[in-house]
Structure 1
Amino acid sequence: MAIFSLLTQFRESANTFLSQFEPLTLVIAPILSLLIAGFLQSLISTVHENGLKSCLIASFMYLIKLVPGVKSYVDAEKQKVVDKMQAGNKSKRDNWRTELPATGFGSRVIEMMKEEKRKDAAWQGKCSGTVYIGGTEADDHFSLINEACSMFSHTNPLHLDVFQSVVHYEAEVVAMTAAMLGSKDKASGGQICGNMTSGGTESILLAVKSSRDYMRTKKGIKKPEMIIPVSAHSAYDKAAQYFNIKLWRVPVNNEYQADVKAIRRYINKNTILIVGSAPGFPHGIIDPIEELGKLAMSFGVCFHVDLCLGGFVLPFARKLGYPIPPFDFSVQGVTSISIDVHKYGLAPKGTSTVLYRNHEIRKHQFVAVTEWSGGLYVSPTIAGSRPGGLIAGAWAAMMSLGEEGYLENTRQIMDVSKKIQEGIKSIPELYVVGRPDMTIVAFASNVVDIFEVNDQMSSKGWHLNALQRPNSLHICLTLQHVSVADDFLKVLQDSVRTVKENPGPISGGLAPIYGAAGRMPDRGMVQELLVNFMDSSC
């Protein structure tokens, strides 16, 4: 805090100095004083938000780039990294179409698509998360949801007077999901409501937008802020940018959970929302939802729980006897929840649900337009037109599986999760990060470069998620992994042994890029690399 005190003292000294000049400074001094005060206030805020070290590094890099030739050199080096990240992709794009064919291909496009599909990675059982449907009945389930989607592919719930069927399905998906998450509990108040969305990110965006507008109505907050643990999903960063909300990321505790005391220190008169995850994406660990709920209630702010991953596992794991802490609307203080149906709900991709404790909050999600020449318009979600086929597919998935089906699926994936955890612990060079509560297992190493291990796994067809702070990997276990757990552990052990005996990145691997990003002190430069990579990929 010394830096803040020093800057404040400087501002006061400047004001004193300017006040000594007469009479010219009677006009100039107040202007200069305001400019200096504004600059210092902005500087103090920036340092407080990003940390002194990050600000000094960013300022140093900015000054260095002013030196003739340095900026062009830095840009050229960044492009080299982007080119390496894009290795192999540019040549593939050379034959991609850039305009419509003069004559349509008719039904032959199906054969063309089948040929293109063969180029996809062999994802069956070897991807972290990604595809959640698996097991002996996978083909039947795929056929069922595909038929349901096809049957309603022409529908659009925006026209609720025309396509009453999918409006009905959406209402039932929301109601069934809410029932899983405490809508029948007396503590919930019995008003749980919501809508289906395109995925977890849209569900989170809507919850943040609704919380912002609700708190503006309730408390008159015009400069909204939200507080999240560093383990919370990056969708909150999107929401902060889209909706002009200041975002505070707070370090987690030693158990990789949201630090309630640390979050409390960031709450102020502009706070609209705090966030918890059940579980967090990086390490599969449930935040202390009850404590966060009490905190939210004590300050009268909204509290969103991210159940995108855990929503279709935790309720059933609890029924199976697992010690799952409270995480849903039964917890007082929880105002909204996001839960993906297209993950462990085994619905088609592009289906999620956002739920609210009551209609008073959800009403702020809607956009109603009264002065458009096209007529009166109201839309519940970010999208206007929505694919009714996906809603029908989600309803079909939930109805076909039922509680019994989800209980059996949960039993299998929780069992394989325990097996993978024990297998990783048996590899001396590795350790499990934290204590996973669910079906995500993160692991790291103090002996070998974990990103080189990842490259070895990738070369053998396994696609895991690379994490940072700490550098680690995780596997999100699904029904796909039930039959291949032993193979995964063997390949992992072999990969660790290979890296230990032959340290150094393999040709074409991403370990050098991940390593460089982790060591790069200027996070703004890392951000530029990611943006440049995405810009050249689209």
Structure 2
Amino acid sequence: MAATSGEQIAGKEGILSLVKTKLEPMIEVGTLYLNKAKDEINSYCSGMEAWQIVLYTLGLTLVVVWLYRFLFDHELGLFERIQKSFFKNVRHLPIIGTKIKQEIEKTCNNVENFSFKLEPGQTYVTNLPYTGLSESKLLQLINDKYETMEGADWTCGKVSGTVYNGNAELTSLITKVYGQYAWANPLHPDVFPGVRKMEAEVVAMTCKMFNGGPEACGTMTSGGTESILMACRVYRHIAYERGVKYPEILAPKSVHSAFNKAADYFRMKVVLVPLDPVTMKCDVKAMARMINRNTCMLVGSAPQFPHGTLDPIEEMSKLALKHKLPLHVDSCLGGFLVPFMKKAGYHIEPFDFSLPGVTSISADTHKYGFTPKGSSVIMYSNKSLRFKQYYINPDWQGGIYASPAIAGSRAGALIAATWAVMMHYGEQGYVDSTRAIIQTTRHIEAGVRKIPGVYVVGQPDVSVVALGSLDFNVFQLASDLNKRGWNLNSLQFPSCFHICVTIPHTKNGVADVFLKDVQECSEALLSQPRTKADGMAAIYGTAQAIPDRSIVSEAAGAFLDACYKTNYQTVANGVDAK
């Protein structure tokens, strides 16, 4: 039987009486301590003048605010700042600092000698020719002195990634279209309306590939890095609007370094989520525990670059919806593979806009889309997100300035060539290329698993196979393969290297040659596992063991410097540079 209103009132009064009985002793104790603290403060301040009390209060407030900012209100974590400060001070010690500098210079010289050798008699042009070269002389110079410079031969299928197609017929088509639109610039859509239409169609076709709804939209960019930067900028704006000072990007450890670059550019912070040590997939449970009020976006890869693993995007989507956070899927590497895998006969977990939590996707057309380098697409689930990507200045003296992404002027020829390749290949063409690439990748993976001394890192879902070893220096294996003409990508944490399978690798016999070379080089290293590493293997292996990562950064910066070194010569290859 239901209780009467009188009984309900009596019940409530009883509960209130019980709560009061329990709380009264606690209130009395709290009041006692407050009165004691008040008496202590009054005693301390007795005899002080008003200005002293105000000054001390202000000083204490400033100290508390500084301490809070030092501990919590900073784009870098406390441990990271302490670590950087420690290594910075250590490097100021005379003996240690000098030794580190010498070792960095030695490493940089080794890198330069290993990577940037010139043929005898070759020098650099550093001044404009006094008289411009004719077309025939210019082409002769390119063919004789530049095109012939020795590098890795990608045409035979021994280079990881880099050139994703290279078909002569496709190259001819790209060249023709590029030449037709060489002067086009989409910054002026009224002057080049055809290019504007092409860009809109490239974005629309790509959104459809990723199951975008009626509101799905995006823009083209210069590559995967810019696409990722744009997404991070959008979500930074949203975080700012809700009062977050240092927005945090929550992403798996395997995520592309472009997210760190975005954080560096946009005053954000990347918080790395652990991976499953077996599959190398993002640990979504750990991601859920790491979400806080500063988190501005979640990130997953489809697939990730190092090991070719597809993160559990479906679980991430549910997590994003639960916490009302945006989810970006980085599909820059596999953007023109994963949408076609089902039609090519391969299973793949959900990863695109069909998942309600996915709010943006980056996909590179210039990889497995086989378009010229310098093109990518950033997509959003709705137009309000894309609007936050735009840069608009309504007050410039030169007029109202608006651009969709980082660049102002852009190469319309790249847009036209991208459109042309996508139209030329069509859905069936991409399905066929996907089938060939995945089939070759699975063949390589199965073969590597049979080779003693090496193992497959993670769970290759798409087009990448990473190799590690517990028996010898795996970077030496990569170096030995390099001597056989292979150009592979070295990775770290854990030490390994990978081969990114492209169309040239699908040629008859190429994958079998790779497996044969891996087996023979592994057998040689197993017989002498303590072989001293040489060349880039020694450099890369040493780099991982250095706790002060600023040293590694300096060495990497020196490598970039070496890319621009010209030895300050004024005459090259017989060109008059007076």
Question: TM-score with structure 2 length normalisation?
Answer: 0.83
SS at match of 2:263: helix
Establish whether residue 504 from structure 1 lines up as the match of residue 531 from structure 2: yes
Q: Is the CA contact (8 Å cut-off) linking 1:214 and 1:361 kept in structure 2?
A: no
Q: Go from structure 1 to structure 2 and tell me whether the alpha carbon gap of 1:312 and 1:91 turns closer, same or farther (over 3 Å shift).
A: closer
Alpha-carbon separation, structure 2, partners of 1:73 and 1:459: 32
Alpha-carbon separation, structure 1, partners of 2:58 and 2:489: 53
Q: Go from structure 1 to structure 2 and tell me whether the alpha carbon gap of 1:506 and 1:270 turns closer, same or farther (over 3 Å shift).
A: closer
Alpha-carbon separation, structure 2, partners of 1:480 and 1:299: 44
Q: For structure 1, which segment, 104-113 or 93-102, has the greater mean C-alpha deviation from structure 2 after superposition? A: 93-102
The partner residue of 1:487 within 488, 513, 517 is 513
What's the counterpart of residue 64 of structure 1?
90
SS at match of 1:305: strand
Q: Go from structure 1 to structure 2 and tell me whether the alpha carbon gap of 1:66 and 1:403 turns closer, same or farther (over 3 Å shift).
A: closer
Alpha-carbon separation, structure 2, partners of 1:66 and 1:346: 49
1:375-425: CA deviation from partner (whole Å, max 9, x where unpaired): 121111111111111111111111111111111111111110111001101
The CA deviation at 1:316 is 1.1
Alpha-carbon separation, structure 2, partners of 1:58 and 1:167: 48
Q: Is the CA contact (8 Å cut-off) linking 1:128 and 1:476 kept in structure 2?
A: yes
What's the counterpart of residue 6 of structure 1?
none
Q: How does 1:66-215 map to 2 (within 5 A)?
A: 66-88=92-114, 92=118, 95-107=123-135, 108-115=137-144, 116-119=146-149, 120-124=151-155, 125-134=157-166, 138-183=167-212, 188=213, 190-215=214-239
Q: CA RMSD in A?
A: 2.6
What's the counterpart of residue 316 of structure 1?
340
Q: Go from structure 1 to structure 2 and tell me whether the alpha carbon gap of 1:495 and 1:220 turns closer, same or farther (over 3 Å shift).
A: same
Establish whether residue 327 from structure 1 lines up as the match of residue 351 from structure 2: yes
Aligned residues: 512
The CA deviation at 1:200 is 0.5
1:434-453: CA deviation from partner (whole Å, max 9, x where unpaired): 11111101110101110000
Partner amino acid, structure 1, of 2:447: G
Partner amino acid, structure 1, of 2:140: E
The CA deviation at 1:297 is 1.5
The partner residue of 1:531 within 550, 557, 561 is 557
The CA deviation at 1:517 is 1.1
Alpha-carbon separation, structure 1, partners of 2:495 and 2:193: 49
Q: Go from structure 1 to structure 2 and tell me whether the alpha carbon gap of 1:91 and 1:323 turns closer, same or farther (over 3 Å shift).
A: closer
SS at match of 2:94: coil
The CA deviation at 1:345 is 0.7
Give the % identical residues. Answer: 41
The partner residue of 1:400 within 397, 414, 424 is 424
The CA deviation at 1:330 is 0.4
Alpha-carbon separation, structure 2, partners of 1:384 and 1:48: 30
SS at match of 1:87: helix
1:107-126: CA deviation from partner (whole Å, max 9, x where unpaired): 11112112201213212211
Question: TM-score with structure 1 length normalisation?
Answer: 0.89
Partner amino acid, structure 2, of 1:123: W
User: Which segments of 5 or more consecutive residues in structure 1 lack a partner in the other structure?
Assistant: 1-14
Q: Go from structure 1 to structure 2 and tell me whether the alpha carbon gap of 1:49 and 1:243 turns closer, same or farther (over 3 Å shift).
A: closer
Q: Is the CA contact (8 Å cut-off) linking 1:215 and 1:301 kept in structure 2?
A: no
SS at match of 1:401: helix
User: Which segments of 5 or more consecutive residues in structure 2 lack a partner in the other structure?
Assistant: 1-36, 565-578
What's the counterpart of residue 239 of structure 1?
262
Q: For structure 1, which segment, 63-72 or 138-147, has the greater mean C-alpha deviation from structure 2 after superposition? A: 63-72
Alpha-carbon separation, structure 1, partners of 2:56 and 2:92: 32
The CA deviation at 1:57 is 5.1
Q: How does 1:289-438 map to 2 (within 5 A)?
A: 289-438=313-462
Establish whether residue 271 from structure 1 lines up as the match of residue 301 from structure 2: no
The partner residue of 2:310 within 282, 286, 299 is 286
What's the counterpart of residue 11 of structure 1?
none
Q: Is the CA contact (8 Å cut-off) linking 1:156 and 1:385 kept in structure 2?
A: yes
Which of 1 and 2 has greater Rg? 2
The CA deviation at 1:258 is 1.4
What's the counterpart of residue 501 of structure 2?
477
1:16-35: CA deviation from partner (whole Å, max 9, x where unpaired): xx989765984675566456
SS at match of 1:179: helix
The partner residue of 2:463 within 439, 457, 461 is 439
